[in-house]
Every structure is written in structure tokens, then in C-alpha cells.
Amino acid sequence: MVNTLRRELTGRQREILRAVEEFVLEHGFFPTVRQLGEKVGISNPSAVFKHLRSLKKKGYLSKSGGKAVLAGFPSYQESRTRVPLVGLVPAGPPREVFDLSDEMVEVPDWMVGRRQGSVFCIRVEGKSMVDAYIDDGDRVLVERTDTARSGEFIVALLDDGSVTLKRLKLEKGKIFLVPENPDLRPITVSELRILGRVIGVLRKY
């Protein structure tokens, strides 16, 4: 069935809608206004918000649980999947903690996206990532991968066998694991093994 409202979209609106769809499929969650602006080359957040509001009026976006969602995508609330919970990973000084368990965690399908089978969940301990909205006790979804780009949040296995959650920074041939807490300093490492990159955060209030 063809949605007749598509004929009302401007070229810019089609571009933004396509960018939103690509972002949701890749990351499993809706982009922020800033992220969307960067993706389509619009520096003014108000202009991006105006386009999003137009897409909502035309039936392409809606709200679910107070958050924007793509109309026509699978229901975020009804469709869920189970991912394994893997131990306790510190977001502070590295520790030798990465325990396996038989526990599973239910998460909305949209948070996993196309990564089904390659996502696990960790429970964070520590305050080193609070400025990235990853706090002590949060559960973080991680995509299994052995590579990451500079700027991404990763779970890293250091050469001494310890595990930590930090932002990866590659600069002038050096490797830094950067905390998102102004009271803590970056960790400089010569070698590390990337266990995965963060794709989402689960929190109960």
C-alpha cells in the first residue's frame, strides 16, 4: 500500500527521512537533532527540528513513550529480543572483571537493529563515564567487534588482562582510553584488544 503523503515531501524532507531511517537501522535508536544535522549538513538545530516537525505532521514520524519514532517501523514497545548479560565491567580504573553468566536481558528490537546475535549486555561499575550519561549500575549494550573508530565508546581488554569501558582516542600513533569525567585522566596504552563498542544504555529510575 502506497502512502500518498509521500508526494507532499520536499526534497530536503525526503533526505532527512532517509537519514533518520539509515541511522535507526545502523545504530538501533533515533538520532539526536545534532547528530541528524551533521548527517545531512544542517548546522542550525532549529532548522532540523522544523523539518522533523513537518515529517511528524505528514505522518512519517510519531511519538512512543515520549520519544520520536519512525511511523511504519516495528513497534518498539511490542517487539523485544534477549541478549546475554556478561558480568560486571568497570567504568573507572581497569579491573580484572569480565564474568560470564547464564542471565539474559530483554531489550527492544530497535536497540539491536541488524546486529541480532552479535550484541551482549554489561553492567557498569564506576563513575568515569558519567558525562556520557553512562552511570554506575547502568546496563550497556555492546556490539561485538574487534575494531572501532576514534571517538567511539568501547569495552577494551588491556595487555595486563584487565577490562575497562572508555572512549577510544587515536592521536599521532598513540592510543588513549578517555574517561568522560573531568576528575579522571586518560589512560595511555601501547596495546589493547577491543571486545566491542557501545550501542545503547539501559537504565531504571
Return per-residue pLDDT of the chain as tens, 205 residues.
Answer: 333 334 467 888 888 888 888 787 767 678 888 889 998 999 998 899 898 888 888 777 876 655 566 665 544 444 678 888 888 788 888 877 666 667 888 887 777 777 777 898 998 888 999 888 888 888 899 999 999 999 999 999 888 888 899 999 999 889 999 999 999 999 999 888 999 999 888 876 5
Domains of the chain: 4-70 (1.10.10.10), 80-202 (2.10.109.10)
> Cα angle vertex 183, ends 195, 144, to 5°?
10
Task: Please identify which of the residues 50, 64, 166, 204 carries the catalytic annotation.
Answer: 166
Q: DSSP string covering the chain, please? A: ---GGGGG--HHHHHHHHHHHHHHHHHSSPPPHHHHHHHHT---HHHHHHHHHHHHHTTSEEEETTEEEETTSPPTTT-EEEEEEEEEEESSS-BS-----S-EEEEEHHHHGGGTTSEEEEEEESSTTGGGT--TT-EEEEEE-S---TT-EEEEEETTS-EEEEEEEEETTEEEEE-S-TTSPPEEES-EEEEEEEEEEE---
pTM of the model: 0.60
d(CA 2, CA 59): 13
Catalytically annotated residue among 39, 128, 169, 174: 128
166 labelled catalytic: yes
